[in-house]
Amino acid sequence: MGRQGIVVIVGLVFIAIGLPSYAAEDYEDPSPSLELGAAVYATRCVLCHGNKGMGEGIMPMRLKEYPDTSLLKPRVAHKRKEVLDTTVLGALYKDTSEYMPPFGKELSWSELESVSDFIMLLREDQVRAYALLDSLGNSAQADRKLGQQVFATRCVLCHGQFGEGDGRMSRLLKTPPPADLTASRLPDDYLRQIIEKGGEAMGRSKHMPPWGDQLTVAELNSLMLYLKFIRD
């Protein structure tokens, strides 16, 4: 077999591995919708792309070396299919930034389709897109499950999946590195102030962003409940 044939086969295997697969008995995938897309965007995308999709997320605003993440002036994904492919494959798609994670194995196909449609709506009808995002704010329940969701969408990038300080950004943030939250014995009140005001305001790491204006009271309470769980 020639080299080109091998490349084609390897490419097909890679695509098959990269695309998500879901067993019907394990998960009932909701129908795609803009409402679902807005919910996925709010939990997965705002950290880097910002609440308005203008690239005003916490990460690019705090880190100088972070690339431009505006979705309104895309560098790579212009068409809807390109947006979907970028969401599925992340940095593996064409010239996408290395900071873009692949969501193909984390989101259902309906969620992937929905968030791609929502991103296109952000570019075409921002008033409607922002209204969909605003409508999400009143549905939060203060519990540990919500806290885990907040942690997964706001904290994992630096602190890691289990809060051990080994997230994707830990390879860039060295002075100081992200905190190992499982080993932290800071008082709850002080920890909450760090979360709300940011690390620099509390004499801690300047890389820790202030979340007080980004999260609802219910989300903050729930996050504290979840952090208590992983610290115990």
% pLDDT > 90, the chain: 46
Task: Identify the CATH assignment for 144-231 out of 3.90.550.10, 3.60.15.10, 1.20.140.10, 1.10.760.10.
Answer: 1.10.760.10
Mean pLDDT of the chain: 83
Among 62, 207, 43, which residue's Cα sits nearest to residue 133? 43
The most confident of 26-30, 154-158, 228-232, by mean pLDDT:
154-158
Give the three-state DSSP class for 165: coil
Cβ–Cβ < 8 Å for 198, 209: yes
| Residue range(s) occupied by CATH 1.10.760.10 in the chain | 32-134, 144-231
pLDDT tens digits, one per residue of 101-114 = 999 998 999 999 99
The CATH H-level superfamily of 32-134 is Cytochrome c-like domain (1.10.760.10)
pLDDT tens digits, one per residue of 14-45 = 334 344 433 333 446 778 999 999 988 988 89
Structure tokens belonging to residue 105: 């194995």
Of the chain, the end-to-end C-alpha distance in Å amounts to 57
pLDDT tens digits, one per residue of 104-145 = 998 999 999 999 999 999 999 999 999 998 887 554 455 788
Structure tokens belonging to residue 187: 């008082």
Give the three-state DSSP class for 141: coil
Helix axes 126-134, 109-124, angle to 10 degrees: 130
CA pair distance 219, 150, nearest whole angstrom: 7
